[in-house]
Amino acid sequence: MSSSDPTNFDEMHGPDGSIRSAYRGYNAWLEEQDKSWMRRKGAEAESFFRRTGITFNVYGEQDAEERLIPFDMVPRVVTGGEWRRLSRGIEQRVRALNAFMHDLYHRQEIIRSGRLPERLFRDNSAWLPQMVGFTPPGGVYTHIVGIDLVRTGPDEFLVLEDNARTPSGVSYMLENRETMMAMFPELFTRVKVQSVSNYPRRLAASLAASAPASAGSTPSIAVLTPGIYNSAYFEHAFLADKMGAELVEGSDLRIVDGKVQMRTTDGYRPIDVLYRRVDDDFLDPLTFNPDSVLGIPGIMDVYRAGNITIANAPGTGVADDKAIYSFMPEIVEFYTGEKALLPNVETWRCADPDSLKYVLDNLEELVVKEVHGSGGYGMLIGPTSSKKEIRKFREKLLEKPENYIAQPTLSLSTCPIFTRDGLAPRHVDLRPFVLCSPDGVDITPGGLTRVALKKGSLVVNSSQGGGTKDTWVLDD
Amino acid sequence: MLGRVAEGIFWMYRYLERAENTARLLAAGHRMTLTRGQEEASQEWRSVLTTLGLLNAYDADHDSYTGAQVCDFVLRSKSNPESVYNMFERARTNARACRSAITMEVWEAVNEGWMTLRDLLARPVRDANLNQVLGAIRRESTLARGATHGSMLRNEVYCFARMGTFIERADATTRILDVKYYLLLPSLAYVGTVLDTSQWDNILRSLSGERAYRWLNAGRMDARSMADFLILDPRFPRSLTFCYATLRENLNELAQLHGREGKSHVAMREADVKLAGKTVEDIFEQGLHQFLIEFRNSNAAISTAIAEDYRFIP
């Protein structure tokens, strides 16, 4: 059995080797299992994923066109009580995000009040002047949000990142659970876990509730994908399939009679809600990127006329910006009148000279990220970088300090993974998925747990060798 | 359903059917050449390439027709975009692009089939393994068809799947007959020479009809009843009559679903005229070769009309 490293919080094993309460049920089951049988099960999981085609594509890798994200079969367990506390914080944050979006594209009270510097969004390429003064159907901007959380102690969850643009990974939440249930059916009779399987139904309901007033009683929903070569194509097809919605590409759509319509075998049919998984830039070549072949010419006019819901609303990517992130505690307080229940990770904005000086002096201790970056690319992890890497990064940083923020290297919590030699602790994060509609905020009890498979590594991104785990919220 | 998806499904099933038919043709050719001299074997392999419409492409970088070369070219050669491997890969790509129109069972059958063939065809196929590989191709295609039959809703998607299958199958039967039509000409039978029944056997094998034919004809073989069987027998699932019964059924189903007919229904009726009520004598009188050419043309016309009627492209 594993012993946990005393310098960070392990979610399964206490410092004295005892089993923390969330994992007691799982541990009791595990101790009864034969070790070589468990090893065989590990191999089974991989063939299961390959057969069902749950893959992701890595940009820039030619041979490995479709790769599997490794799956670890030790669940990540959260108690019902922990989850309830967490949910309150998530809901508060998502409501604030939505109010913030509305304000940014309307009166901009938060800027007038001096709480947020104007340049933050003026310099932000995700900011869309086309959205100014326009309110999306139902007033909802962020229909689907993924909040990335890290844990540093029994009661300490921190927000690492907000994904308000097009969060991905929810198919892994669902398929990881299916895999676990197929592999260890009896485990689920022993430990009561809250179900995640109705997420697609909740998503469909949430999208339908956000339909424009012009839609009938059963709005027509479609998922817009860039196509089969996109890294998340599997998820797009998966969600369309589970929702019973059409999976469309730009070339299937056209504006007919002031509505966005799709080319069916029986002529053009209107769409009321478009769950788009393409970036703003590729949405409408008439309004945004004129070279895009992915988009639908004229869709923004239909949108502004109130004849379609686009989820998430164009321009919500502003909130994914890491400089905006650093202001989230102020943003939450400004729109909800309450202190943020979920704290941010301490963040230095390199645009600010004092912070920059501190960051430069402490590069080998810090994690430095690009403000607009994502996927773990273009970042520096001080403690694991060589002197040379740090020197090169310092030059980049000095060139455009406003492009960077820095955070302390957190002692992220660990959760055991299954290795040939038994359980071994690895660092994890958590992305719960949150749905917003005029009917309210809906959080599915679970999420995507990403795990760094390399010993000691803090990088959990799937594009950089991270894996995933099934995330359990106990029904207690 | 989306026009693009209808197109993807239609072609996915055409590719699967074509891969299977190709494997069957190779198996029959292979069996035949085992008992022949080099010259005759080379002729047989050449005729396999002609049937598949690959002769020109093959000739471009080969100067002889050996079993190993022909099989490698047909099954896996990079210089052959119509190879069985590419066919399966395209079927899988289409299945991926139409993932939300097919069931998990169908997707898994196609995806696993592709994985199996990718491994089997990673290296040149040795003579000793040829039958195993050809068997795998037929099996994987059969599994996909079986999963389709057993798990798919009988709706529009299913209609396009069936139409793709049977347009392709009718095309394959026609091609096989056309390359070997001279063997079926009744005049030969009248001449009273010693007939090469193994050639006939070969035709039946390449259409998986040898057992059915023997059973129906108590082991007797003659050109007339063979042509009758392969073209007109409504019970044989690779006869032209059978293919068209299924095609008609699915086109009618679509007309009912959409409340209208299109160019494809007109083309179907025109093709029906050429087949319905015909006896094998009528066909021989018209000229078998001529009949087959006309049939292939109308088959292609139906396929084009389907693409147009159901908006495969904008």
Q: Which range among A98-102, A293-297, A361-365 has the greatest average pLDDT?
A: A98-102
Residues pairing with A469 in the sheet: A72, A449
Of B4, B96, B108, the CB nearest to A252: B4
What mean pLDDT value characterizes chain A? 89
Please tell me if residue B100 touches chain A, with a CB cutoff of 8 Å: yes
The percentage of residues in chain A with a pLDDT greater than 70, rounded to a whole number, is 92
Helix ranges, B121-262 (H) = 127-151, 156-179, 181-184, 186-191, 197-206, 210-217, 223-227, 240-258
Which residues of B are less than 8 Å from A262 in CB distance? 2
Mean pLDDT of A195-200: 96
The answer regarding whether domain A351-408 maps to CATH 3.30.1060.10 reads no
Rounded to an integer, the average pLDDT of A397-424 is 90
Q: What is the pLDDT of residues A366-376, one digit of tens each?
A: 999 888 766 56
Q: Tell me which of B10, B100, B152 to substitute to probe the interface with A (most A C-beta atoms closer than 10 Å).
A: B100
Interface subset of B 28-57, CB within 8 angstroms of A: none
Q: Band the pLDDT of A323: cuts 50, 70, 90.
A: confident
Give me the count of residues in chain B: 314
Q: How far is A70 from chain B (nearest CA, A)?
A: 19
Model confidence, pTM:
0.89
CA separation for the pair A107, B167 (Å, rounded): 62
> Minimal Cα distance from A226: which residue of B?
B97
Question: What is the residue-level pLDDT of chain B in tens, covering all 314 positions?
Answer: 999 999 999 999 999 999 999 999 999 999 888 888 889 899 999 999 999 999 999 999 999 999 999 999 999 998 899 999 999 999 999 999 999 999 999 999 999 999 999 999 999 999 889 999 999 999 999 999 999 999 999 999 999 999 999 999 999 999 999 888 777 775 545 444 445 677 888 889 889 998 999 889 887 778 788 889 999 999 999 999 999 999 999 999 999 999 999 999 999 999 998 888 899 999 988 888 899 999 999 999 999 999 999 999 88
Residue A405 · residue A323 · CB < 8 Å: yes
Per-residue pLDDT, B65? 95
At B258, list the tokens: 């959409």
Kindly state the average pLDDT of the residues A229-242: 91
Q: Report whether pLDDT(A426) > 90.
A: yes
Residue A290 has pLDDT above 90, yes or no: no
The pLDDT assigned to B87 comes to 95
| CA A141 to each of CA A235, A297, A438, B51: distance values in angstroms, whole numbers, following the listed order | 22, 22, 10, 59
Task: Decide if the complex's ipTM is over 0.90.
Answer: no
Residues of B in contact with A263 (CB under 8 A): 2-4, 311, 314
Confidence label for A119 from pLDDT (cuts 50, 70 and 90)? confident
SS3 A70: coil
Cβ-defined contact of A53 to B100 (cutoff 8 Å): no
Q: Where are the domains of chain A?
A: 71-175+197-212+308-342+429-473, 351-408
Burial of A286 (0-12, 13-18, 19+ CB in 10 A): middle
Pick from B1, B107, B108: CB nearest A264: B1
Size of interface A-B (CB pairs under 8 A): 62
For residue A247, the chain B residues in CB contact (below 8 A) are 99-100
Spatial separation of the C-alpha atoms in residues B101 and B96, rounded to whole Å: 10
Confidence band (pLDDT; 50, 70, 90) for A82?
very high
Tell whether B293 lies on the interface with A, counting CB pairs under 8 A: no
Q: Which residues of chain B from 74 to 93 reach within 8 Å of chain A, CB to CB?
A: 93
H/E element, A349: strand A348-349
Window 128-147 of B: residues touching A by CB (8 A cutoff) are none
